[in-house]
Amino acid sequence: MQAIAESSKPKTQSTSPLLTFWRTFRRNPMALVGLTMLIIILLLAVFARQLAPYDVTSSANVSTADIYNPPGGAHLLGTDDAGKDVLSNFFFGARISLIVGFFAAFISVFIGGVIGIVAGFYGGRIENILMRFTDIMLVIPDLPLMVVIVALTKPSLINIIFVIGLLGWTTTARIVRSQTLAVKSRKFVLRARAIGAGNFHIILHHILPLVMPLLVVNAILVISLAILNESALSFIGLGDPTALSWGQMLNYAFGRGAMSAGAWWALVVPGLGIVWVVLALTLLGHGLEQVLNPRLEFHHLEPGRPVVQSEARQPVARAEDGRPILLEVQNLSVDYVTAGKPPARAVENVSFQLREGELMGLVGESGCGKTTLMLALLRLLPPAGQIVGGKVWFMGRDLTAMDETELQTVRWNGISIVFQGAMNAFNPVRTIGDQIFEAIQKHTPILPEDKIEDRVSELLELVGISAEHKAHFPHQYSGGMRQRAMIAMALACNPSVVIADEPTTALDVMIQAQILELLDSLRKKLGLSIIFVTHDLGVVAEMCDSVLVMYGGVTAEYASVDTIYNAPRHPYTQELLKAFPDLSKLDKRLASIPGYPPRLDQLPPGCRFAPRCPQALERCHTQPPALHRLEGTHVASCHLLDG
Amino acid sequence: MERRQYLLKKIGWSLFTILFVLVLNFFLFRILPGDPARAGVKDPRLKKEAIEAIQVRFGLDKPVVNCFESLNPVKLGSCTVNPLETQFFIYVGNLLRGELGISYHTNRPVAAILAERLWNTILLIGAGQILSIIVGVILGIFAAWKARTAIDYGALLTSLLAWSLPTFWLGIILLFWGSANGLPIGGKATPGSSTLPPVQQWTDIFQHMLLPTLTYTIVYMGEYTLIMRSSLLDVLAEDYILTAKAKGLSTFQILKDHALKNAMLPLVTVIAINLGFTVAGALQIEAVFSWPGLGGAIYESVVRRDYPVLQGAFLLIAVAVILANLIADLTYSYLDPRVQSE
């Protein structure tokens, strides 16, 4: 008994894709409302005969006195131009409208699906011809063409279904084609091809299941369009005179004096039916799309979460060596807050000081909270991010207490950022020069425009880009040039601090070296303070004054560069150092650290590095280590230092 | 150089599409059984002379195209009809001379009827498009900017509802409401108003336009709102918006200088693709409000079985939509610097 119970257990736990789908679907109010509305109208249509108070299929017992009787009494929704009960007509009309909608959409989706899959799968000339044909059909206005064809043939239900169906496939074909293109180069499709599966087999078993979700969403849209088109055709007088659809009801009412008779019920009721079905389908389709392609959760203009103010400690004005301190971060903590989940601590209790002219390396693997920390400094966190403790002092001012307008004067003017990658950091539809110009104009509006132009040229020359390129767009620059231009833009307002957030990732090694040299020479020339964010300790070795190593959102170790390289105390720093080549010890093997940094929502209870730490003790897994202050400014958080 | 090639390619395809529509339009009216000119000559009650007279009048005595009737491999070799004397080439030749045939109903040249009506449709669609784009774009901007707030959900539901309204039905409802409130019930002008001074004439036309334009605006603003909203949401999540924010720009500056142009780009394409649907809307609106435009011409010609007008109106509408698409394509290439280098 027990064995059976146990063996059946994993089965219930494994989630089928349909079940997962249903769970997300259930939480989407739009899709749920749409589905409910659709089911209601489907039931009305199916049980029309049982629900309708009158048999509208026969014209017995109808007299002229019954024409356009107002709602109430024997006829809940009044009577129409033929003296028939509007409510009963409404139920039977639902049948016709839905039948036309579903069958026509079925034809459209079938044709569009076949054309899209064939074009996407086979490519080449077949694709070219099919898609050109689709483009042509897409441009030709469909309702007028339907009108022409139905007018020239018999306006029977079958004809209408086919005409709407045969002309409504273009959007389906386009969507299916691009989805097919996207999935056909996936690994398992290529594998199926490699083991000799036939084209038909691949399409049926590998492509179609992946195209299906999109096809369903599109089909829902096509059904609603077909219903709208049918009603329009009927209204124009091209409906099947023997099939009283909602559109046909409206045609009769409008054409036979409902307006002058003031019989609003004959005009309102069938129209509401169309609106009901189309709205149901629209809500369902829209909701399904949200379920299948969840959008990015936020955008950059949403209001951020308020800073949780904490006790302020006065900032230190000068470091021990007498140099002024520009930026002091005190015990900064940042949470990511998502509805329905406990907040995830992305940065915890991080402190550092940046002196004038200092270059600090901020090192750690991806996902260790480096970028979050840097964005928090300028209060540029995404809306889910919240500073929940600590202070950021910049030249004696508390950035965590400033309002948005004050912050705007500090951003770029006091502290600027060189974003990583730089491809999308520039607006693609504005020239590079224009975007640098904008920054200068924002912060020194009194400067005349020609002076700003000169400054833009000067800045570009400074980073080794000829001034004539300022009229070019970002896509006309190479990756390295864009990164240089980004640096030029970061320097535009003579900031005291520049944050370089992984400025060399995604660039090739030669360009990386050039960018690094450029940053270092600019620092010396302009007296900048730089925070250099990187996951590569080697990059910062020769340039930095100090290094802050982060792991899982906390400070692993913070010390001068000499200490970090020669006497690291935290095992993570030690492992990172082993992972980069030391040219003086050529016989040494490079080591990588197995595993990945912890996910923010699954932080281990003890030291965050413990699961990957080669020297972990028992308490490391249960108890977070304290931040130990060692000699001078050297700090590290590790149980090995507990003494 | 690249730009010129792009232009030539687009223009070439538009011409090809127009040719396709031309051929389609010709053959639809030759193959499908409805046209009374051809259906009529099969009536056994007609005398031989009458049949011949009808055939000559409508050019039915000529072959449709070269050897179209004898798609028979044996006969093809001896097929000696002068291609210029086939119905198709006569049709094309007439088109080139601007002749679209004679209306069955009014006996006037179709081209003259449609020429008057084209401007009325352009007036209606123009006013409706401008208004619906303005309303849709503004609503979309607010919805995206205030994402996931009551404003956003309100705008989203409003646009989905607007999208779901059958155009002609909304027209009927507005007409019902408007006629009860003293607005004109249809047409473009009050009969006899042409004798009035110009200002009053224009006021009269404006009053007649009010409800059709309102119908148009409500039906199409929903879609523009949805597109603007989703396009702006995409743009606002882009890295360059974060850059703009880091540069110290205000929310207004970011929206104006960095988000709107980028977000409007997809809208240009959608407006173009929408023109086909737009015409469908105009057709229904003109039918409801008896607006003397091309859509109204299609509606009336269907009711009166006036096929030359139907054929001409369809051709004119299709060509207009194709040309509008071409213009949108060219505008897009001008607005988005990335297109030229592709």
Substitution target from A301, A338, A408 for chain B, most B beta carbons within 10 A: A301
Shortest distance between the Cα of A429 and any Cα of chain B, in A, equals 6
Quote the pLDDT of residue A1: 38
Across A286-306, average pLDDT: 83
Quote the pLDDT of residue A35: 94
Q: Does A427 touch chain B (CB under 8 A)?
A: yes
Quote the pLDDT of residue B194: 77
Cβ atoms < 10 Å from Cβ of B24: 18
Q: Which of A276, A296, A316 is the last residue of a domain?
A: A296
Among the ranges given (A71-85, A131-145, A255-269, B55-69), the one the predictor scored with the smallest mean pLDDT: B55-69
Indicate if A191 and A329 belong to the same structural domain: no
**At CA A290, angle to CA A285 and CA A296, rounded to 5?**
155
Whether pLDDT at A364 is above 70: yes
Whether pLDDT at A586 is above 70: no
Percent of chain A exceeding pLDDT 70 equals 93
3-class state of residue A257 by DSSP: coil
Q: Is residue A216 part of a domain?
A: yes
The length of chain A is: 643
Shortest distance between the Cα of A208 and any Cα of chain B, in A, equals 27
Q: Is residue A560 part of a domain?
A: yes
Across A480-506, average pLDDT: 90
Q: Is residue A73 part of a domain?
A: no
Give the span between the Cα atoms of A141 and A53, in whole angstroms: 41
Give the span between the Cα atoms of A505 and A150, in whole angstroms: 61
Indicate if A546 and A630 belong to the same structural domain: yes
**Contact between residue B267 and residue B224 where contact means Cβ atoms under 8 Å apart:** yes
| CB contact (8 A) between residue A302 and residue B261 | no
What is the total count of domains within chain A? Answer: 2
CB-nearest partner of A301 from B25, B32, B254: B254
| CB contact (8 A) between residue B233 and residue A152 | no
Q: What is the CATH number of the domain that holds A550?
A: 3.40.50.300
At how many degrees (to 10) do helices B167-180 and A264-292 cross?
Answer: 140
**Of chain A residues 222-261, which have a CB less than 8 A from chain B?**
224, 228-229, 231-232, 235-238, 247, 250, 254, 259
Q: Which of A296, A316, A348 is the last residue of a domain?
A: A296
Q: Is residue A106 part of a domain?
A: yes
Maximum distance among all alpha carbons in chain A?
108
- ipTM score assigned to the predicted complex: 0.90
Whether pLDDT at A10 is above 50: no
**At CA A361, angle to CA A561 and CA A412, rounded to 5?**
140
Shortest distance between the Cα of B237 and any Cα of chain A, in A, equals 4
Q: Which residues of B touch A231 (CB under 8 A)?
A: 166, 168-169
Indicate if A357 and A224 belong to the same structural domain: no
In the predicted model, what is the mean pLDDT of chain A? 87
Indicate if A161 and A213 belong to the same structural domain: yes
Q: Does B130 touch chain A (CB under 8 A)?
A: no
Q: Which residues of A touch B302 (CB under 8 A)?
A: 147, 151, 236-238
CB-nearest partner of A141 from B176, B253, B280: B280
Q: Is residue A389 part of a domain?
A: yes
Nearest residue of chain A to residue B306 (CA atoms)? A151
Q: Does A268 touch chain B (CB under 8 A)?
A: yes
Q: Is residue A478 part of a domain?
A: no
Indicate if A231 and A332 belong to the same structural domain: no
Indicate if A400 and A544 belong to the same structural domain: yes
Substitution target from A128, A235, A493 for chain B, most B beta carbons within 10 A: A235
Shortest distance between the Cα of A492 and any Cα of chain B, in A, equals 10
Higher per-residue confidence, A590 vs A453: A453
Pairing verdict, β A635-637 and A627-629: antiparallel
**Of chain B residues 263-322, which have a CB less than 8 A from chain A?**
265, 273, 275-277, 279-280, 283-284, 287-288, 298-299, 302-303, 305, 307, 310-311, 313-314, 317-318, 321-322
Q: Which residues of A touch B284 (CB under 8 A)?
A: 232, 235-236
Q: Which residues of B touch A282 (CB under 8 A)?
A: 160, 163-164
Across A340-345, average pLDDT: 85
Amino acid of residue A474: P
Shortest distance between the Cα of B134 and any Cα of chain A, in A, equals 22
Indicate if A584 and A500 belong to the same structural domain: yes
Quote the pLDDT of residue B334: 79
Quote the pLDDT of residue A457: 95
What stretch of H or E contains B291? none
Which pair of structure tokens corresponds to residue A603? 């932080």
Q: Does B228 touch chain A (CB under 8 A)?
A: no
- DSSP H helical ranges for A382-448: 404-410, 432-443
Between the alpha carbon of residue B67 and those of residues A61, B31, B63, B83, the distances in Å are 59, 15, 7, 9
Indicate if A354 and A247 belong to the same structural domain: no
Q: Which residues of A touch B144 (CB under 8 A)?
A: 299
Nearest residue of chain A to residue B37 (CA atoms)? A152
Strands (E), A337-459: 344-355, 359-363, 385-394, 397-398, 415-418
**Of chain B residues 147-166, which have a CB less than 8 A from chain A?**
147-148, 160-161, 163-166
Substitution target from A300, A406, A436 for chain B, most B beta carbons within 10 A: A300
Q: Is residue A441 part of a domain?
A: no
Indicate if A340 and A290 belong to the same structural domain: no
Shortest distance between the Cα of B199 and any Cα of chain A, in A, equals 31
Q: Which residue matches tokens 């589905």?
A: A35
Which pair of structure tokens corresponds to residue A250? 């409206």
Cβ atoms < 10 Å from Cβ of A537: 22
Indicate if A133 and A215 belong to the same structural domain: yes
Q: Is residue A434 part of a domain?
A: no
Q: Which residues of A touch B325 (CB under 8 A)?
A: 139
Give the span between the Cα atoms of A147 and B191, in whole angstroms: 30
Range of the structural domain that residue A215 is part of: 84-296
pLDDT tens-digit series, residues B209-243: 999 999 999 999 998 999 999 899 989 989 999 99
**Of chain A residues 277-316, which have a CB less than 8 A from chain B?**
278-279, 282-283, 286, 295-296, 298-302
Quote the pLDDT of residue B342: 41
**Of chain A residues 340-379, which have a CB less than 8 A from chain B?**
378
Quote the pLDDT of residue B6: 83
Contacts of residue A362, Cβ cutoff 8 Å, sequence gap at least 6: A370, A373, A374, A531, A532, A533, A534, A547, A548, A550
Higher per-residue confidence, A541 vs A591: A541
Q: How many residue pairs bridge chain A and chain B with CB atoms within 8 Å of each other? A: 240
Nearest residue of chain A to residue B39 (CA atoms)? A152
Q: Does B262 touch chain A (CB under 8 A)?
A: yes
Give the span between the Cα atoms of A133 and A156, in whole angstroms: 28
| CB contact (8 A) between residue A236 and residue B233 | no
Whether pLDDT at A548 is above 90: yes
| CB contact (8 A) between residue A144 and residue B251 | no
Q: Which of A296, A316, A343 is the last residue of a domain?
A: A296
Q: Does B335 touch chain A (CB under 8 A)?
A: yes
Quote the pLDDT of residue A373: 94
CB-nearest partner of A153 from B32, B240, B302: B32
**Of chain A residues 536-565, which have a CB less than 8 A from chain B?**
none
Indicate if A261 and A353 belong to the same structural domain: no
Shortest distance between the Cα of B197 and any Cα of chain A, in A, equals 32
Whether pLDDT at A421 is above 70: no
**Contact between residue A376 and residue A348 where contact means Cβ atoms under 8 Å apart:** no
Q: What is the CATH number of the domain that holds A110?
A: 1.10.3720.10
Q: Which residues of A touch B162 (CB under 8 A)?
A: none
CA-atom Rg of chain B in angstroms: 25
**Of chain B residues 173-212, which have a CB less than 8 A from chain A?**
173, 175-176, 179
Q: Which residues of B touch A136 (CB under 8 A)?
A: 16-17, 20
Whether pLDDT at A226 is above 50: yes
Quote the pLDDT of residue A593: 79
| Most confident of the ranges A53-67, A74-88, A278-292, B18-32 | A278-292
CB-nearest partner of A283 from B21, B160, B238: B160
Shortest distance between the Cα of A414 and any Cα of chain B, in A, equals 10
Cut 0.90: pTM above it: no
Q: Does B331 touch chain A (CB under 8 A)?
A: no
Q: Does B342 touch chain A (CB under 8 A)?
A: no
Residue A163 pLDDT level (bands cut at 50, 70, 90): very high
pLDDT tens-digit series, residues B77-120: 455 666 666 778 888 888 888 888 888 888 889 999 999 899 99
Indicate if A408 and A264 belong to the same structural domain: no
